[in-house]
Copies of this chain bind each other. A is one copy, B any other.
Amino acid sequence: MRVEELDTPAVIVDRDLLESNIRSMSAYCAGHGIRLRPHTKTHKIPAIARMQVASGACGITVAKLGEAEVMAHAGLENILIAYPIIGPVKTERLARLAAECTITVALDSGIAAEGISHAMADVGSQVNVLVEFDVGLRRCGAQSVAAVVALARQIERLPGVCFQGILFYPAHIWDSPQQQASALGELSQKIQAVIAALRSASLDCAVVSGGSTPTARNSHLVRDLTEIRAGTYVFNDLNEASVGACKLADCALRVVVTVVSTAVEGRVIIDGGSKTFSGDRLLSGNHQHFGYVTERPDLKFVSMSEEHGHLDLECGARNLVVGDRLTIIPNHVCACVNLHDQIFYHRQGVVEGCWKVEGRGRIQ
């Protein structure tokens, strides 16, 4: 079957591009002696996680415990849950999972550390812990060097939890890769200060985990970084392309849609809206558009309702007719994939199969 024969809307992945994206990031990391622990929240598909590991990834990152369970049961090992695991229901599940494979969790509070330690002690299991340090996003993360050291000390005293190092997420840096040097230099100094303080307190900081796709290929500018958790790079999307973190041609995932109405002058309606693409706006540049129409860049994806995409034609442009198909690069691929039960993969237009998005819906 060819891509043209798939009913729409359909999410398709160019497998050649996917493999090239995976190889390229692995090569960058290998070249700089940095481990790659890709964030699989982007795809939530064990088969793609295995491709990443086969290409050199040291393990994987997930956002939620439920995603970790899906990946572990599919045979993935060495999983970082980059999220605080809170409450007895989750810590008990975590303890069971940690008995099966190597699990690391990130956290930023004594309450989280104590809850996990308690559950681990109950089953005689052990989990690695990274203390999250806030480098500017103001989301999670200890706010000072002293807070990191205090929490690391507390973890060292608790049973069942093993302090391994620090984790940060530089998602506040959303400049083009060419313009990141100063922000990453500043970041590097912050990280150095944390490492030095931990060393002074006789705490071994074996892991310094950073990452995010926009900054990934400048990771060598952050001294003593041991691993990155880039995720979006497997598919790329319009957000990444807009800041120059990839080219449009590197976007491996696209959504095929059909024109369902041309009744309104100057407008074309497609069969995908916020329940197909997500309603996420672009993070930089023109925040008003919802995707890039590859065959017709003159069409502006100006708004959406749940099942309708609204494309505006430039004055005088050749119109489309009901039934025409278009291929769109989404703004934010992680949110898009999360809406779908399956995505198709192809090589040069020949559909080879489809992957179930196995981690989707595992929000707890």
Contact = CB atoms under 8 A, between A and B. Distances in A.
Interface of A: 7-10, 41, 63-64, 83-84, 86-87, 89-90, 108-109, 111-112, 115, 132, 134, 138-143, 147, 171, 258-265, 267, 269, 271-272, 274-276, 278-280, 305-308, 310, 321-323, 334-335, 338-341, 361, 363-364
A260 B140 contact: yes
A39 to B, nearest CB: 10
B363 A109 contact: no
At the interface, is chain A mostly helix, strand, loop or mixed? loop
Nearest to A335: B274
B83 A260 contact: yes
B139 A269 contact: yes
B261 A63 contact: no
A84 B93 CA distance: 46
B276 A363 contact: yes
A56 B263 CA distance: 34
26 contacts: A8-B364, A63-B307, A83-B260, A83-B271, A84-B260, A86-B258, A86-B259, A108-B261, A108-B263, A109-B262, A111-B321, A112-B322, A132-B263, A134-B263, A134-B264, A139-B267, A140-B269, A140-B308, A275-B338, A275-B363, A278-B278, A279-B279, A279-B280, A279-B335, A306-B338, A338-B339
Nearest to A265: B143
A280 B278 CA distance: 9
A274 B340 CA distance: 15
Nearest to A9: B363
Nearest to A147: B263
Nearest to A310: B139
Nearest to A322: B111
A134 B260 CA distance: 15
Contacts of A140: 260-261, 263-264, 269, 308
Contact of A278 (B9, B139, B279, B323): B279
Contact of A323 (B87, B139, B272, B310): B87
A87 B321 contact: no
